[in-house]
Amino acid sequence: MATNYPGPFEVRINYTTAEPVAINKHQLRLSFQCAATGSPGDPFANWAPIARNGTSAVSLANHVNSLIAAIDDQYVAATSFVDAELWEYTPGTFDAIYRSAMAINSPGTGVGSVQSMAQTIWTFRTSLGGVMKVDLRGSNHAPGLRSTLPGTGNVAVLSNYIVNAAQPWWGRDNSYPIAPLYFLPGQNEHAFQTLNR
């Protein structure tokens, strides 16, 4: 089976969750392609991701803001979306070079309570037949059974956002997500085992 690599560009969203066991740091990573690129250190407004509909009129700064709007209600107010980093990969490798950063400093907006060691995964079929995953940690989703997407409530908000043709995010097979598959609210096994040693 061929190896799927991230990139060519990747945004990394850094956030903290005040879970019952500890304040934990997490990172959400999403790949994309750029039509126009800035120079290292240039603001996110200078970078132009290519959306699935072919447009590149929306800046990376605006795409990151819309991404946060789609995920912030998966988290309670004690969560803090700290910042976003932009990285560029050497094609066909896991080697990445830091390009820029953008402050977010935004809290979660969801209701309920933070789930300790939570790992919540949305999966999508990509246009090349692969699977894209959106993996969120420390969300307000209690562990449960796998269900089909798009789902309801805040599950559907994120599901519908990811497959919207105006979004630029890629699966690791370098193609866009086109169909929602499954939602799995669970617990991160590594975090659980580390805590209970």
Q: What confidence tens digit (pLDDT) does each residue in 77-135 have?
A: 999 999 999 999 998 899 999 999 999 999 999 999 888 889 999 999 999 999 999 99
Q: What DSSP element (H or E) covers 5?
A: none
Confidence (pLDDT) at 22: 80
SS3 content of the chain, % helix, strand, coil (to 5): 20, 40, 45
User: 172, 174, 134, 167: which is closest to 50 by C-alpha?
Assistant: 167
DSSP line for 31-48 = EE-EEE---TT--GGG-E
User: Higher pLDDT residue, 194 or 124?
Assistant: 124
Mean pLDDT of 153-166: 97
Query: Can you give the residue ranges of every domain in the chain?
Result: 9-195
Residue owning tokens 């750029």: 34
- The DSSP code for 170 is B
This prediction's pTM = 0.92
Q: What confidence tens digit (pLDDT) does each residue in 35-52 have?
A: 988 899 999 999 999 999
Give CA 26 to chain center in angstroms.
Answer: 11
Confidence (pLDDT) at 190: 64
Distance CA 84, CA 71 (A): 14
User: 27, 30, 33: which is closest to 14 by C-alpha?
Assistant: 27
Q: Are 111 and 83 in contact (CB under 8 A)?
A: no
Burial of 40 (0-12, 13-18, 19+ CB in 10 A): exposed
Q: Are 156 and 113 in contact (CB under 8 A)?
A: no
